[in-house]
Amino acid sequence: MQLGYNEIMIVSKYFKGIKDFINLEIGVKRFQGNMERFHFNPIPLNRYSRKLFPNIETFHIYNKKDEVFKDGRIFKYVIWYKVSYSKYLEEKEEMNECKNIEYTKEDRKKYGNTIPIEVTLLGINCFYRCNDIQSIEIPTNVSKIGNSCFEDCSSLQTINIPTSISKIGNECFYECPSLTSINIPTSVIAIGDGCFLQCESLTSINIPSSITSFGYGCFKYCSSLTTINIPINVSKIGKGCFEGCKSLTSINIPTSITEIGKGCFNKCSSLTTINIEDVKYISEERIFMNEPVLISIEIPKNLKTINGKSIEKKDINEFIIPSTITEIGYECFRECSLLKSINIPTSVSKIGDWCFYECTSLTTINIPTSVIEIGDGCFKWCYSLTTINIPTSVSKIGKHCFYGCSSLRTINIPSSITLFGKGCFYHCGCQEGLKKNETIPEYCFEESFYED
């Protein structure tokens, strides 16, 4: 198939710069005069390139800093960069065309709360603290809702988001206390940070499958939100996303999720069930904090390290560690005061520092032969722990490891252990029996201050 004059004009409309047009005419003789056939400029022009497009009648202004020519042969201007609605009306009087019309806060104050049909995007703070609107209709030409657009609209109850919208900006509906429900169309691909932050009356929200991520604090302090569906295309839940959603009782996290941000479920006081299947990364900071009724959680099967700060201070009485875990991290189960027992799989080689610190209900624990190191303060103040079996694979017991385990009556010390940390058996229930073991240094039974 051979390209003709019409076809090459269509193709050349997508050229990036003047060199592409020049090279076409130099390289292919039969396409000489291609630029002369254009009645509009397909690219921004300067004084030199303007001469190469002699027959332009409609001049397109792509960027605000583009050079504009008014040489008598141009009858109309098409503006592609963003202009306010007020500017659009001025250009309209001159018979010019604007492609991206923003309804700004100043426009709204001047022309009212009804959004004109010509508008293509709603600007930052456009309806900020507009407390007299209860509902609003967004025209189908609008493709984007700007940051904080409806922030603190205290009376806003319902809003129609058309299928033309592709993005909802940061804090768009922040502090809209009367908003009860919202339907997001499948055209939307991004919901900004804090988008529904403190929408206290929001009970339900429909999230389309087009959404791929939830931003930081997206539903933070939506205290009436009882349920939410997370589409299978979502890969990331931002930090603090559901923080303070105290009415949220359960949530299903699909296999598409690869990252959960810190504090994601902080203060979700009614959350009793959470299903996590294949999360690859849990933030180094806490995901759960101060949720006293969270009973059980299963760690993702493909997670390689459990980072303790994600579950610190939980009233968890059951914890299932999958066989893919290779290390239980620093402070992982610290102060899990209801945890009574736990099974460590044979894939684990290291139990980190302060891992079970102050797990005051922990009575038994199984340490597999795969473990080679038990960290500092690992079982410190686990005063309900009665028995523990240390396998021959372990070569080191960290400082303060069993410090204050006053109920510990049975513990075996294999000959494989060559390093004992200071105070590791201080105030331990089996202290007197262990003192008979000559391989254990005296400093293991002495009170000491912990030093890194």
Query: Beta-strand (E) ranges in 339-450?
Result: 341-343, 350-351, 364-366, 373-374, 387-389, 396-397, 410-411, 419-420
Mean pLDDT of the chain: 86
Q: Look up the CATH architecture of domain 326-452.
A: Alpha-Beta Horseshoe (3.80)
What tens digit of pLDDT does each residue of 23-34 get?
A: 999 999 889 999
What tens digit of pLDDT does each residue of 316-326 get?
A: 666 767 677 78
Structural tokens at position 125: 């703070």
What tens digit of pLDDT does each residue of 398-419 get?
A: 999 999 999 999 898 999 999 9
Reduced to 3 states, what is the DSSP secondary structure of residue 319?
A: strand
Alpha carbon 258 to chain centroid, angstroms? 10
Decide which of 164 and 229 is more confident.
Answer: 164
Is 80 exceeded by the pLDDT of residue 291?
Answer: no
Per-residue confidence band for 102, with pLDDT thresholds at 50, 70 and 90: very high
Is 50 exceeded by the pLDDT of residue 62?
Answer: yes
Per-residue confidence band for 285, with pLDDT thresholds at 50, 70 and 90: very low
What tens digit of pLDDT does each residue of 359-412 get?
A: 999 998 889 999 999 999 999 999 999 999 899 999 999 999 999 999 999 898
Give the pLDDT score at 292. Answer: 35
Q: Residue 104 in contact with residue 85, Cβ under 8 Å?
A: yes
Extents of the domains making up the chain? 5-74, 326-452
| Range 158-178 average pLDDT | 93
Give the pLDDT score at 11. Answer: 92
Q: Residue 222 in contact with residue 198, Cβ under 8 Å?
A: yes
| Range 40-53 average pLDDT | 95
